Amino acid sequence: MMHPYPGLNSGFPSTVGPGNLWFVFPGSSSFTPARRTSVVPSGILLLMLCFLCCTASAQSPADAVRTLQNRGRSNSNAQVVGTGGADTSHLKLSHQWTGSVCLSQLSNTGPSPVRVHEVVLLDLDHGLSGTTPVYGEGFQMLSQTSGNLAQPTDVGSYTDRSHYRLPEPAGFRTVYGLLTLAPSGADRLLLGFASCRRFSGKFHFNATRLQAVIDTEDLEIAPGQTWELEELRLASGNNRDQLYENLATDIQRNHPRLPHDPIPTGWCSWYCFGPSVTAANITDNLDWIAKNLPALRYIQIDDGYQPCMGDWLETGKAFGGGVQGVLKQIRERGFEPALWVAPFIASGESRLFEEHPQWFVQDDQGKPLRSDKVGFGGWRLGPWYALDGTHPEAQEFLENLFRTLRRDWGCTYFKLDANYWGTLPGGHHHDPKATRVEAYRRGMEAIRRGAGDAVLLGCNHPLWPSLGLIHGSRSSLDIDRSWGSFAGIGRENLLRGWQNGRLWWNDPDCVVLRDSGSKDIVDVSGHVITQGNVPDNEYQFHATWIYATGGMLLSGDDLTRMTPRRVEMLKKLAPPSGVCARFDNDRFEIGVTTLNDRRVVSVFNWGDQPVDRSFALPQRSQLKEIWSGTDLGVHSGAYEVKGLPGRSARLIEVRAVP
């Protein structure tokens, strides 16, 4: 909420009235009335205003970061916002800072229950230039924000505020879970929520103000009740990766990571066959994998096998109505069957919805809430309805569903898509005291109980509410065989690289290395290259950032039609390193993957014109170009990549030598 005194904490007079002159100076979190006994001459007042203006504008970025951090840790302008103007005078908001982490509680000391719309943990003028670069996470996986404080830009296409219609205060941009600021000439500032047990934490910002807010969803706090709010981390430093590392450590303390080793690798049917996949398609690719690249352990059957969203144990026309036979064949060949499931949604035509409408999130009239009434209605076979994770019978359904899929169908990997709908806003749950986050987490716990030791991959999921509940996290929009997709999806993935191996394994989506025109040829210089609808250098760019993510690896091609050169490229990606490359900044030009016996340097040119790039060599080293196998010789000090063509990348192995 904006403070009722617009100038508060800005260094300017807040209110000038007929009897009082209120002043607030930089760094102050309160104001003091000074009784005016005589009229201040207008010239003197003007000089005072000019002095305050110059003082504020002269503040360096480094000073602004320190001031922001100090005022943030005083929980500047923290307040409780009641629903519909409810009286919050008996609600006590307390904070305890331990280092960079703030623990907050809200207690009701009054005689009556109070509905709480939100809790503002801090609300202040940030004092930074509007051109300060920002990065913020989305509530759901498909939304990310970059740009700067004054002009934020969308990284992805399906944003929280527009596509999913999540509310955003007028004049502000809203991000969730994480916000980083990178002012020129000063340390980076990171604000991040280190927990998401019950409430969603978010940040509102614009060119002048910054707010950290807990969404309490208009829930009622009873007399004598205390709510533990989500942990907030506020820290600064010049090491980008270390700031993320510290946040990840705090998150793991609250939501221990679900480990799964080795990193899942496999093949996915969607990007080559879509919903029309056949048993023959699966068999042909399984034969190829068994012969050529058995490291692709998981064979994932994607969307299309089911007749309706929600009826996951029934089969549609795909596979002749016998998907279980295909899964059995995968197991018999010694591979792992993987299945796409969207557990929190159902189509209105599904048996699940028709037989159990009471299991779904309800509208104000007590009927199942159509998701298109409050947000995005779904991309296929919609509009969708959202299963209520607080309903005991819905929980039992989820647990039994995944126990059947794991035990009887033999699936050892589940791609859980459309998980966002488990947090559908604007409805009513079976448990009226539960938040959307709690509803989702309870549903996911039921899935985990049923799935047992199977891999759980979150996709189109609410990011922070999924902490500690999934083994893998899809970290970008769907890939497409085009430069726009390779560049855009690459950036989405690298912005989330810090999460890989810390919170879960990142899934950068499938690596795709062929199109309908792909063929290997010898160019004029005698080198083998691959021609196709997309230029060879752009495919290499894509493969390089796939390597740099260090996350899960799934091939999305019809492997029976791959060219030999691209097959060799795919083999060099398997198994993935498990380590995301570290970059000094968000331009992602030079990334270093540090392994036990070597370093691997990813060198990118995101533009259209050739550029020179160089990277440091801490010691004398032998260099080799990974994709071509070219020996680059022994070098010391630094290595320069001259004339790196536009839309291209190189992957260079660096080994220390005496």
pLDDT in tens, 160-178: 999 999 999 999 999 999 9
**d(Cα 568, Cα 589) in Å, to the nearest integer?**
25
pLDDT digits (tens, 9 = 90+) for 561-597: 999 999 999 999 999 999 999 998 999 999 999 999 9
The pLDDT confidence band at residue 18, using thresholds 50, 70 and 90, is very low
Does residue 33 surpass a pLDDT of 60? no
Q: What are phi and psi of 127, to 5 degrees?
A: 75, 10
Average pLDDT over residues 211-226: 98
Lowest mean pLDDT among 440-444, 530-534, 555-559, 624-628: 530-534
Rg over CA atoms, the chain? 27
The pLDDT confidence band at residue 320, using thresholds 50, 70 and 90, is low
Average pLDDT over residues 86-104: 97
CA distances, 616 to each of 295, 619, 652, 657 (Å): 33, 9, 13, 15
Average pLDDT over residues 221-241: 97
CATH of the domain spanning 582-656: 2.60.40.1180
The pLDDT confidence band at residue 25, using thresholds 50, 70 and 90, is very low
Give the pLDDT confidence score for residue 132 in this predicted structure: 98
Does residue 12 surpass a pLDDT of 80? no
Half-sphere exposure of residue 82: CA atoms within 13 angstroms, side-chain side: 14
Average pLDDT over residues 94-106: 97
As assigned by CATH, the class of the 265-573 domain is alpha beta
Average pLDDT over residues 449-477: 98
Residues 294-329 as b or e (16 or more Cβ within 10 Å = b): ebbbbbbbbbbbbbbbbbbeebeebbeeebbebbeb
Give the pLDDT confidence score for residue 640 in this predicted structure: 98
Does residue 75 surpass a pLDDT of 50? yes
Give the pLDDT confidence score for residue 28 in this predicted structure: 31
**d(Cα 641, Cα 616) in Å, to the nearest integer?**
12
Half-sphere exposure of residue 79: CA atoms within 13 angstroms, side-chain side: 15
- Pick the more confident residue, 12 or 348: 348
What percent of the chain is predicted at pLDDT more than 70?
91
Give the pLDDT confidence score for residue 44 in this predicted structure: 41
Does residue 643 surpass a pLDDT of 90? yes
Give the pLDDT confidence score for residue 41 in this predicted structure: 42
Does residue 248 surpass a pLDDT of 70? yes
- Domain range summary for the chain, segments of one domain joined by +: 1-58, 65-254, 265-573, 582-656
Does residue 46 surpass a pLDDT of 90? no
Residue with structure tokens 């509009």?
A: 383
User: Could you tell me the two tokens for 336?
Assistant: 């792992």
**d(Cα 312, Cα 450) in Å, to the nearest integer?**
14
**d(Cα 554, Cα 556) in Å, to the nearest integer?**
6
Does residue 467 surpass a pLDDT of 70? yes
Rounded to the nearest integer, the mean pLDDT of the chain is: 90
Does residue 13 surpass a pLDDT of 80? no
Does residue 475 surpass a pLDDT of 70? yes
Select from 210, 216, 196 the least CA-distant residue to 76. 210
User: Could you tell me the two tokens for 175?
Assistant: 């991000």
What percent of the chain is predicted at pLDDT more than 90?
83
Select from 496, 603, 470 the least CA-distant residue to 540. 603
